[in-house]
Structure 1
Amino acid sequence: MKQVPETKVKLTDVKELMNKGYNLLQELREEVDAPVVKAEFLTKEVTAVYGEEAARKFYDPKNFKREGAMPKPVLKTLFGEGGVQTLDGEEHHHRKNYFMDLMSPDRMEAYHELLAKNVSEELGKQHGEFELFDLANKVLFNTISEWSGINLERYDSKTLEKLARNQISMISGAVTSPIDHIKGIKDRNESEKWAQDLIEEARKHPVPGKEHLALYAFAHATDLYGELLPVEVAAVELLNIIRPTVALTVWVALMGHALFAERNVYEEVKGNFGELQDSFIQEMRRYYPFFPMLPAIAVNDVEIDGYLIAKESFVVLDLYGSNHDERTITSPGQFDVKRYVGRAKDISYKEEYEMIAQGGGKFREMHRCAGEWITLHSLRVFSDQLVNKYEFTVPQQDWTIPMNQFPTYPNSKVLLFKE
């Protein structure tokens, strides 16, 4: 096995390199002309890998662990302390089952129907110019909260809008500016307090027949030893249902870019919607930047692409780079709505590593996002509403998608006009 080529990032180059954003790891790979690269950022050594083979090795618990890998800034804003993303082994498997049990076909159908109703009502109210991003943020938060068993009637509209914005703030505060990070921590603390109050109330006043709803499932979730999860941890897991779903606001904005920035895509999808809908959705998830990378720590020496990854190495899997890997994807820089025709559902229900916008591997056993099916249902609802149910005029706007912003979406947040 070959030794991993190394590059040292000078302090004077850090800002310029970080501005590469989603393309940062590709830049480092190109610098050493290798598929695996080790870079020293200040005092931290990071080994970056990408591609289908790397993903197979990365998600194998015999090779890598998650415990201790997630940077503190990400835990404090994005994932929260003690959440399922930080666990390994039996503890992870036990906790993950709570999430997967919520994703049953009947519960997914209930989510789909509720979201379709809410999106249709909200779009029906629009007259004149509006931002698709803000509309999606509101509707997704209200829908996932209601689906989870939360009574929204007890809150006024301003409180709901603030809670909805908090979910996006927790994401953008993870790896951006210090100001955004501080705001992300504040908004996470506010969201966790809200969720803790809900968990405590659900424990005091359990409702028979609602055990299958997320609020009550996590309120009564136990650890490996049968003890109730601490309120703080149960609240984090409830938010791990709500926050990622509200994060789909970003996908909806990127869908708006795909459909309306270039009208030929809209016309092609509309002309054969039944056949192209799911292929369009999967290609959108592959093509656009979403979550940039995932960290882990090597528990053994691992060989990836012919290079030796030493035990205890801090490793990141480049998700965006993997979904644009010329070694396994034909013309990855081209948006092809027909790329997954006939295979679209397999990508999220059978295939484990071909496309890893939301992680790879097996859903129950590995660290693949339990909410991928909610993602598909959400994007099916929005694509149907945007393409088939309403007619929009598209104002002039800034369609730029900044690659150094996380999460990223068009600068204009997708402006649409409806009579």
Structure 2
Amino acid sequence: MTDTVLSRLLRYVVIDTQSDPESAAQPSTEKQKDLSRLLAKELQEMGLVDAHMDEHGNVYATIPANVDKPVPAICFCSHVDTAPDFTGTNVRPQVVKNYQGGDIVLPGDPNQIIRVSNNPELNNQIGHDIVTTDGTTLLGADDKAGVAEIMTAAKFIIDNPQIKHGAIKILFTTDEEIGRGADKVDLKKLGAEFGYTMDGSTIGEIENETFSADGVDITITGVAIHPGTAKGRMENAIKIASAIIARLPKDQTPETTEGRQGFIHPTDISGSMDEAHLKFIIRDFVDEGLAQKEALLEEITRDVMRDYPGSSYAFKVKHQYRNMKVVLDQHPAVMANLEEAVRRVGLTPVLHSIRGGTDGSRLSFMGLPCPNIYTGGHAYHSPLEWISVQDMEMAVKTIVELIKVWEERAA
């Protein structure tokens, strides 16, 4: 099992699947389909006759139930795309066998060092085999580790028919890293009652909660006058936008918050003297917190605008996703069965809140309650990304045990 999950990861990470937030297409990059096509082919070779890739690059497949009693159909989901934060072209993975501690210098760029001081989880990896890049690209374990783990577990279940189970649905999505992973998923075709994303980090940590999220766009229309005759007349939109940024509360930023604290985060500023644009992401674990932060941001904007009577602004809030815990709390068996599976592989389940989003958030509110399971990966979205082969194996075992738990507890 270990060799299989490793060989799959190494095969998948060399396929460039970065998504592109500037593209309006779905998927945002055609190269994501290169991995999706391979996965559909491999699933078909396992004997899953319905395995296919749709026009959006999503992959669907079913392992049919092998019991007569009614067992809820459960889905395992991961995304094929990698983050736009750092290049995913020409990935050259390396395996540090039998890791014995200490910092890991990456061979392609010796300035890139995976330091234990920044990665304390390495202290729990003595004797493990650690997969990294050469330091010139990201690894893509987010989320090709999840993909490899699902594929490995699927093959194990198929090869061991003595394991009793209900219908198991497999879903691989595109564009998760740019917030569109569930946009084109057909839940009716998927046919699952409950789901699990394999997209977490440290083994043992299971996630039933995400941020709730909105985006805010502010457009400032200033007063453009020739600078030679501008006294008392010009109202520079760039300066207005800068004044709004300057007044943001310093205790509500990503740099100053942690745990369950939310934030107001400017992500883009652009424009000219006559018109400027500001983009923000607003995050909190409760909807009331989102509303309060959006109200504060608009009050700051109004206050700044009072000094510029000839100018105007537009303030637009865009719903992004909501905390999946609201949905999951209505289906306690989803988490209870997962916690039992984690215990069965010898780990202590640790409930964790994601300071971000996941396909599971969108899928939960679309009608597929969907918490998140660990993959074993760390330092995502960077050339310092790493993952333990043994932790990946543990994730595979967790999937298998979870499948057993659902069958055993079915009426």
TM superposition score normalised by structure 2: 0.25
Return the index of the structure with the highest Cα Rg.
2
Higher percent of residues as helix = 1
More strand by share: 2
TM-score by length of 1: 0.24
Q: Which has the higher contact order (CA 8 A, sep 6+)?
A: 1
